[in-house]
Structure 1
Amino acid sequence: MEPTTYSEAGVDVLKADAFVGRLKQLSKRTEHQQLWKAAGGYAAVYPVDANTAMALTTDGVGTKLLLALELKQLDTIGIDLVAMCANDLVCVGARPVAFLDYYAVGKLVDEDADQLMQGIIKGCDQAGLLLVGGET
């Protein structure tokens, strides 16, 4: 039978939560008084001047990537990634304008990379975002 919970799939949610707690403590020294923290931590908002603020977020697709690889449908995961990031910005009242990608793999498979990037570009088109750069 296929796993139906994070735990059954090998994801230790409690361990991940504990890591996030430690990370919050470690990162306190990098905080700035002007940084606005949003409820739920979906994005950070930093005032640039009296009339302008910048919202920042990052996200990943998590274990959904395993299903996308199995189905050979990586374009959908690219769309999902952009949507999750844009949604996190909207949740703090920001208007998403740009997206940066990060593609990390042990072995670059052209077909997979192309599909994923096509999905990211489609997601950017759907959300009205500029794809302004990234890292591979």
Structure 2
Amino acid sequence: MKKYLLAALIPLVGFAGDNELTDAEKAAGWKLLFNGKTTEGWRSAKGPEFPKKVWSIVDGMLHTDPSDGKESAAAGDIITTDKFSKFEVSVDFKLTKGANSGLKYFVQPNLNQGAGSAFGLEFQMLDDENHPDAKLGRDG
């Protein structure tokens, strides 16, 4: 099984860290997907270009501006340019107050036509204390 260190994805999430693999991580087969300096290796889930209008790199982290979910209409969901099947993911992230975000995987770009978020499985990242969606679900 290949291992990948994913250090970026989906709005309102900032990923921290040195954005470098240790010698042990390299030896174990991990691949760094975000270097903290460029968006190389990433693109919009809805097109070939990186959505610079939605994302920026600040202090080695990816940032988006609060958008009330409108980033998906601006092709703001991002995916890797490489495709992966069997993988482990390790992510550092920060949430802003009221954030509703996630880390999507197995995204199918051919299904991402029109407005809306990218189709794929998602690890939800939500500010449970301050986002109204936290009150809509069920515990467990």
TM-score strictly above 0.5: no
Rg comparison, structure with higher value: 1
Taking CA–CA contacts closer than 8 Å with sequence separation of 6 or more, which of the two structures ends up with the larger relative contact order? 2
* Structure number with higher strand proportion: 2
* Structure number with higher helix proportion: 1
